[in-house]
């Protein structure tokens, strides 16, 4: 496990700024409804704000204005400072860093031989959404009719990880099953190899090739 302490104030402000993003909005709604409010009794929180949140949540009329009221409340600020770090630590324990490197996985489907085509390219751009487990590498946007299914594997360093989005999405029940590792753009993927589903061997790419997120 890596030793990392997140800054609660910065975390809240970043969420506040990015509420227009659907994944950020839905993630913080679940964190508030499933983790924040259930951990408090009436004597510890602003119950009128809690009731307003749940009423809007149940009615399907939850707005960014209500979310911001919760984010900027003293109760939520205290919770993120004192109660969220252990939850973050539990997530970090799942990341199997070895020699400061984490193996990550991604899946795609194609109708062409991706390995053959890619070996002819000097640079590969693979995207920033990966998983920290093999089972989490699912081609969510792949076409079910595509003939080829590939699993990408590679290694990255802690500094390559967009920790804000990675932690936020793994705290949300809707996205935590994806075991997501969100990378910064244009980071080098080292020790890159590809498995084609249904075949025995894994193809190892030349280390001189530029392979980026």
89 shares its domain with 118: no
Predicted pLDDT of residue 34: 93
Is residue 71 assigned to a domain? yes
205 shares its domain with 106: yes
Residue 199 domain boundaries: 102-212
Given 25, 58, 93, the domain boundary residue is: 93
Predicted pLDDT of residue 1: 62
120 shares its domain with 48: no
36 shares its domain with 109: no
Retrieve residue 123's tokens: 């640079």
Given 67, 93, 119, the domain boundary residue is: 93
Q: How many other C-beta atoms are found inside a 10 Å radius of the C-beta of residue 76?
A: 22
121 shares its domain with 41: no
Is residue 129 assigned to a domain? yes
112 shares its domain with 57: no
Is residue 69 assigned to a domain? yes
* Domains of the chain: total: 2
139 shares its domain with 190: yes
Of 84, 101, 86, which is closest to residue 2 (Cα–Cα)? 101
pTM: 0.90
Is residue 171 assigned to a domain? yes
Is residue 132 assigned to a domain? yes
Predicted pLDDT of residue 25: 96
Predicted pLDDT of residue 107: 94
Is residue 2 assigned to a domain? no
164 shares its domain with 73: no
17 shares its domain with 82: yes
d(CA 83, CA 22): 25
37 shares its domain with 114: no
72 shares its domain with 15: yes
Q: Kindly give the confidence (pLDDT) of every residue in the chain, 213 residues in length, as a single tens digit, with 9 standing for 90 and above.
A: 667 777 888 999 999 999 999 999 999 999 999 999 998 888 889 999 999 999 999 999 999 999 999 999 999 999 998 888 888 889 999 999 999 999 999 999 999 999 999 988 889 999 999 999 999 998 877 676 788 999 999 999 999 999 999 999 999 888 888 899 999 999 999 999 999 988 888 999 876 678 999
Predicted pLDDT of residue 144: 67
Predicted pLDDT of residue 175: 82
64 shares its domain with 165: no
Is residue 1 assigned to a domain? no
Q: Which long-range contacts (CB under 8 A, 24 or more apart) does 133-142 make?
A: 133/105, 133/179, 134/105, 135/179, 136/105, 136/177, 136/178, 136/179, 136/180, 137/105, 137/106, 137/107, 138/107, 138/178, 139/107, 139/108, 139/109, 140/178, 142/107, 142/108, 142/109
Given 45, 73, 93, the domain boundary residue is: 93
3-state secondary structure the chain: CCCCCCCHHHHHHHHHHCCCCHHHHHHHHHHHHHHHHHHCCHHHCCHHHHHHHHHHHHHCCCCHHHHHHHHCCHHHHHHHHHCHHHHHHHHHHCCCCECCEEEEEEEEEECCCHHHHHCCCCEEECCCEEECCHHHCCCCCCCCCCCEEEEEEEEECHHHECHHHHHHHHHCHHHHCCCEEEECCCCECEEEEEEECCCCCEEECCCCCEEEC
């Amino acid at each position: 496990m890596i030793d990392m302490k997140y800054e609660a104030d910065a975390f809240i402000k970043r969420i506040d700024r990015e509420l227009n993003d659907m994944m950020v909005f839905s993630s913080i709604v679940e964190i508030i409804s499933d983790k924040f409010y259930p951990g408090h009794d009436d004597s510890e929180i602003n119950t009128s704000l809690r009731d307003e949140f749940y009423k809007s949540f149940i009615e399907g009329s939850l707005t960014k204005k209500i979310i911001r009221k919760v984010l900027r409340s003293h109760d939520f600020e205290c919770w993120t400072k004192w109660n969220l770090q252990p939850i973050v630590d539990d997530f970090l324990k799942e990341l199997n860093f070895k020699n400061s490197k984490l193996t990550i996985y991604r899946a795609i489907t194609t109708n062409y031989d991706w390995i053959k085509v890619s070996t002819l390219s000097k640079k590969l751009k693979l995207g920033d959404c990966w998983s920290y487990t093999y089972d989490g590498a699912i081609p969510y946007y792949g076409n079910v009719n595509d003939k080829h299914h590939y699993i990408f594997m590679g290694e990255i360093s802690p500094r390559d990880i967009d920790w804000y989005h990675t932690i936020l999405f793994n705290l949300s029940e809707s996205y935590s099953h994806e075991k997501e590792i969100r990378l910064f753009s244009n980071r080098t993927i080292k020790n890159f190899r590809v498995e084609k589903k249904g075949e025995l061997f894994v193809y190892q790419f030349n280390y001189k090739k530029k392979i980026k997120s």
